[in-house]
């Protein structure tokens, strides 16, 4: 392989972001209370056209919201997308769940579907605790 091929390989590797499977990124855990709301910020280096908020992986049946808009809501779930400008400003996606219940506990994923580049995602865990009652 000559130098040009090596440089091209490094260029394309540098375009990847999020969890590509090449690293074992630590998963953030967020805690919410039953009946409350939670918002999680997902951060990406690059923008994407299709935005997804999923419980678990983004396969059929796990997708909570799928949109090409910058804002979307479906029942208790919502997305707000703010496109950044690489390399100075990250692209942000805020995902929210309202009226939390115990069954909302689990692994979630924010995902960006990008043309001509690998899709990018950010995973996090939500733990829902019981609301304290005054007696």
Whether residue 22 is contained in a domain is answered as yes
Whether residue 135 is contained in a domain is answered as no
115 or 30: which carries more pLDDT confidence? 30
- Determine what percent of the chain is predicted with pLDDT higher than 90: 57
> Exposure pattern of 93-127 as b/e (b: 16+ CB <10 Å)?
bbbebeebeeebeeebbbbbbbeeeeebbbbbebe
Whether residue 122 is contained in a domain is answered as yes
- Give the pLDDT confidence score for residue 87 in this predicted structure: 78
Give residue 26's domain range. Answer: 3-129
DSSP 28-97: EEEEEETT--EEEEEEESS--SEEEEEESSSSTTTEEEEESSSEEEETTEEEEEE--BTTTB-EEEEEEE
Whether residue 24 is contained in a domain is answered as yes
Region 111-123: mean pLDDT is 77
pLDDT at 52 over 70: yes
- Give the pLDDT confidence score for residue 27 in this predicted structure: 87
- Give the pLDDT confidence score for residue 48 in this predicted structure: 85
Q: What is the pLDDT of residues 54-87, one digit of tens each?
A: 999 888 899 999 999 999 999 999 999 999 888 7
Whether residue 108 is contained in a domain is answered as yes
- Give the pLDDT confidence score for residue 118 in this predicted structure: 57
Number of domains forming the structure of the chain: 1
Q: What is the pLDDT of residues 4-13, one digit of tens each?
A: 544 444 444 4
CATH number at residue 7: 2.60.40.10
- Give the pLDDT confidence score for residue 9 in this predicted structure: 42
Whether residue 134 is contained in a domain is answered as no
Whether residue 27 is contained in a domain is answered as yes
Whether residue 81 is contained in a domain is answered as yes
């Amino acid at each position: 392989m000559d130098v040009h091929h090596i440089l091209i390989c490094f260029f394309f590797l540098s375009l990847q972001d999020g969890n590509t499977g090449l690293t074992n990124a630590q998963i953030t855990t967020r805690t919410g209370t039953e009946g409350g709301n939670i918002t999680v910020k997902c951060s990406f280096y690059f923008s994407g056209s299709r935005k997804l908020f999923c419980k678990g992986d983004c396969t059929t049946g796990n997708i909570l919201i799928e949109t090409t808009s910058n804002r979307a809501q479906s029942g208790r779930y919502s997305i707000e997308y703010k496109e950044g400008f690489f390399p100075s400003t990250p692209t942000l996606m805020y995902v929210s769940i309202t009226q939390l219940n115990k069954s909302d506990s689990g692994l979630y994923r924010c995902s960006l579907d990008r043309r001509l580049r690998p899709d990018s995602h950010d995973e996090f865990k939500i733990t829902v605790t019981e609301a304290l009652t005054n007696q």
